[in-house]
Amino acid sequence: MKKTLLFVAIALTATGCVSPVPELPSSDIPAGWQAPLTADAPMWPQNDWWNSFADGELTSLIGMVQANNLDLANNQRNLESAQISLREAGFNLLPTPVVTLGTGASTTETRNDFGNNSNGPNVPATLTAGFTWNDILSRPATFERAQADYSGRVAQAADLALNTLGTAASTYFQLLLTRDKIVAAQQNVANAEAIGSIAQARVSAGVAVPIEALQQQIAVERERNNLLQLRQNDLSARSALALLQGRSVQGFDITGQSLLSIQVPSVKPGLPSELLQRRPDLVQAESTLRSANANVAIVRTDLFPQISLTGNASASSTALSELVSSPDTVMNISANLVQTLLDNGQRFRNIDQAKLTLENNLANYRKTVIGAFNEVEVLLSNIQVLQAQGVTAFNNLGAAEESFRIAQARYAEGVADYQTVLQTQNTLFTTRNSWLDNKLLQLNAAVGLFQALGGGWESDQQVAAQ
C-alpha cells in the first residue's frame, strides 16, 4: 500500500501540472496607439460610463435596464449555475465520502415443554464510512479546466451586460434623434407649404406656369409622408427601449425630446497590453485557450495507469445503544491500477487532436486580440473625423438656412425662378438631416469606444494585480 501511495504521488507530480498557456507573439500587441488621443480625457472608461453623457434620463434608463432586463436576469442565473459547477469541480479534487447508518429490529422466541421463552427485542446497528477516489491523475488538470471555463463564463456575462447597456444607450439616442428629425420634418413641411402658397399665388396671377405649383405640391406630400414615417420610427424605438426594460410599449415613454443637449464625452485608452484584461471578449477567448491547454494535460494522463483508491470502515453492534460503546469494527483500504497496453495508438491520436484544438484556440485568441486593437484604432480615428465633420455640418446648416431664406424672398419678389427655390429647399432639408445624423454618429462612436475599451470592467487577474 505504501508503494502504491508513493507511485500516486510521483504520478501526480508528473501529470498534475498543466503546461504554461501559449503566449501571444510580441508583434500582436502594439506598444502604443497610432490614433490621436485627447490630452485631457480620462484614462479608461469607468464602470458607470453612461454617466459621462451627463443626461439624467439616460442614467435612470440604464438603471431600469440593469434591474429589469430579462436577458440580464437569465445571465445572472447562468452565472450562479457556473459558480455551482466550479464548486463541484473543487470538491472533485477530493475523495468522495459515503457515510451510512443502518438499523433494524428482531425478536427471538424459544418453545419447549416448559412453555415459551422470549429474549425480547434486538436492535442491531451498523455504521459504515467509506470513500472513493477515481481517476486521480486527471483531477488536478480537470479542475484547472473548470477554473478556465468559469472565468470564461464570467467574462461572457460581462460582455453580454456591456452589449445590452450599450444597445440601450444607442436606442435612447436614436429615439431622441427621431424626435429632432420630427421637429425638422415639421419645419420642412411648413417651408414646403409656404413655397407652395407662393407658387399657387404666382400661377393665379398668371406670372408662373401651373407646373410649378404641381411640383411643389409633390414636395409637400413627400415631406408629409416623411413626417408620418418618423412618427412610426418613434414608436419602434420606444418599443425597443421598453423591451430592454422588460415591459410593454403601452404607456411607455421618455421625457427627452432632443439629442442636441447631450454632450459627447471623451475617453482615452491606457497601454494596449492592459486591454487584454479589461475587455471581456478577450478574457473569454483567453479562458477558452486555457481550457484547451488543460485538456491537453487531461488527455496525456491516459498514458499513465488509471489509479483509483477506495476505503471503508464499518462499526456494528447487536444493539443500537452499544454502537459507540462496544462495536465490532472492520477497516479496509484498496488501490486499483489499470494500464492500457494496446489501443492501436488511440491515446496518441487523442493527444494530437487536443494539441490541434489548442493551436486553433491560440489562433482564434490572436485573431480576437488583433481585431480588438484594430477596432480601438479605428474608433479613435473615427471620433476625430466625426468631430471635424460635425463642425462642417453645423456651418453648412447655417449657410443652407440663409440660402433658402434669400431664395424664398427672391422668388416671392419674382426675381428668382422656381428651380432655384426648389434646389435650395432640398439642400436645406438634406443639410439639416446630415447635421442631426452627425450628432448621433458622434454619440454612438463614444458608446462604441466605451465598449471597445471594456466599459470599466476588469478581470479578476487585473484586480488582483492592483
d(CA 390, CA 370): 30
Which of 348, 430, 341 lies closest to 393, judged by CA? 430
The pair phi, psi for residue 257, each rounded to 5°, is -125, -10
Whether pTM > 0.85 for this model: the answer is: no
Q: DSSP E strands: which ranges in 264-324?
A: 306-317
Taking Cα atoms as reference points, which of 449, 457, 383 lies closest to residue 170? 449
CA-CA distance, 113 to 387, in Å (whole number)?
A: 116
pLDDT at 466: 45
Question: What is the torsional sign of CA 369, 372, 374, 377?
Answer: negative
CATH architecture, domain defined by 18-94+136-304+344-465: Up-down Bundle (1.20)
CB 436 within 8 A of CB 230: no
Task: Locate the domains of the chain by residue range.
Answer: 18-94+136-304+344-465, 96-134+305-338
C-alpha cell at 82: 457556473
Contacts for 231-237 with beta carbons within 8 Å, 24 or more apart?
A: 231/182, 233/178, 234/175, 234/178, 234/179, 234/182, 237/171, 237/174, 237/175, 237/178
Q: Any idea which residue has 447597456 for its cell?
A: 165
The conformation of residue 302, written as its DSSP 8-state character, comes to G
Question: How far is Cα 132 from Cα 180, in angstroms, rounded to an integer?
Answer: 70
* Under 8 Å between Cβ of 234 and 182: yes
β-strand partners of 118? 109
Please write down the long-range contacts of 204-208, taking CB distance under 8 Å and 24 or more positions apart: 207/414, 208/418
- CA 182/CA 436 separation, integer angstroms: 11
Cα 263–Cα 438–Cα 65 angle in degrees, nearest 5: 55
* Tens-binned pLDDT, residue by residue, of the chain (466 aa): 455 545 455 555 555 566 788 889 989 999 999 988 887 889 999 999 999 999 999 999 999 999 999 999 999 999 999 999 899 888 888 888 877 776 665 555 555 555 555 555 666 767 787 778 777 888 888 899 999 999 999 999 999 999 999 999 999 999 999 999 999 899 889 888 988 898 899 889 888 889 888 988 998 999 999 999 999 999 999 999 999 999 999 999 999 999 988 999 999 999 999 999 999 999 999 999 999 999 999 999 888 888 878 877 776 666 555 555 666 666 777 777 777 777 788 889 989 999 999 999 999 999 999 999 999 999 999 999 999 999 999 999 999 999 999 998 988 888 888 788 888 988 988 998 899 999 999 999 999 999 999 999 998 755 444 4
Supply 144's cell numbers.
484547472
Q: Residue 129 and residue 127: Cα distance in Å, rounded?
A: 7
- Of 157, 141, 153, give the one whose Cα is nearest residue 21: 141
Residue 306's φ and ψ, nearest 5 degrees, are -80, 120
Using a CB cutoff of 8 Å and minimum separation of 24, what contacts does 26-35 make? Answer: 28/366, 28/369, 28/370, 29/272, 29/273, 29/276, 29/369, 29/373, 30/272, 30/373, 31/272, 32/271, 32/272, 33/269, 33/272, 33/376, 33/377, 33/380, 34/377, 35/376, 35/377, 35/380, 35/381, 35/384
CA separation, residue 254 to residues 56, 171, 262 (Å)? 12, 12, 15
CA distance 155 to 188: 48
- Cell digits of residue 198: 407662393
Please check whether the domain covering 96-134+305-338 is classified as CATH 3.90.700: no
pLDDT at position 47: 94
Q: Per the structure block, which three cell numbers stand in for 191?
A: 417651408
CA angle 166, 259, 248 (to 5 degrees): 55
CA distance 242 to 172: 10
Instruction: Note the pLDDT of residue 103.
Output: 66
The x, y and z cell numbers of residue 216, run together, are: 411643389
